[in-house]
Amino acid sequence: MANRNRPLSPFMLGTAYRLQITSVMSFLHRATGIAASVGAFGLAWWLLAVAAGGEAYASAAACLGSPLGMLALAAFTFSLVYHLLNGIRHLMWDVGMGFELPEVYRSGYTVIVLSVVLTAAIWFIALRGGA
């Protein structure tokens, strides 16, 4: 076999490999799946604090109400929304829809935009008190 001077992995970004929306979406799907799993532990912690009552809940509420806690909650919200929408996109592929390259790009950008919009809407409603 001839020795060719070519990259061995698509992870060699730069001149060897150009980042595409499909690879970014794949990475984000995996990352948001991990973030949603980690966030589930945070949700379990909060539920245990609610069940314990009093001081435990006050401590959890103070932690989640801090700027860092709010940032973590926003990231958790985005992770859930993005993972859900991109999962629906993958389900559409499973039934054979959306495989043409323009449709792949259109659905990718749609998932990203809808994820940001829905996350913002959820937080807008939550911060207004749900009404």
Domain 21-127: CATH architecture, name and number where available? Up-down Bundle (1.20)
**Residue 4's pLDDT band (boundaries 50, 70, 90)?**
low
Q: Which two tokens stand for residue 40?
A: 């589930």
Helix and strand numbers, DSSP H then E, in the chain: 4, 0
83 is in an annotated binding site: yes
Q: How does pLDDT run across 34-48, given as a tens digit for each residue?
A: 999 999 999 999 999
- Residue 73: closest CA among 49, 115, 31, 42: 42
Query: In the numeric block, which tokens belong to residue 23?
Result: 């690879």
Domain ranges of the chain: 21-127
> Alpha-carbon distance 90 to 8, whole Å?
28
Note the pLDDT of residue 9.
Answer: 63
- The per-residue pLDDT for range 85-108, each reduced to its tens digit, is 999 999 999 999 998 999 999 999
Global pTM reads: 0.83
Cα dihedral 75, 77, 81, 86 sign: positive
In the structure, what pLDDT confidence band is assigned to residue 1 with cuts at 50, 70 and 90? Answer: low
CA 64 – CA 72 distance, rounded (Å) = 8
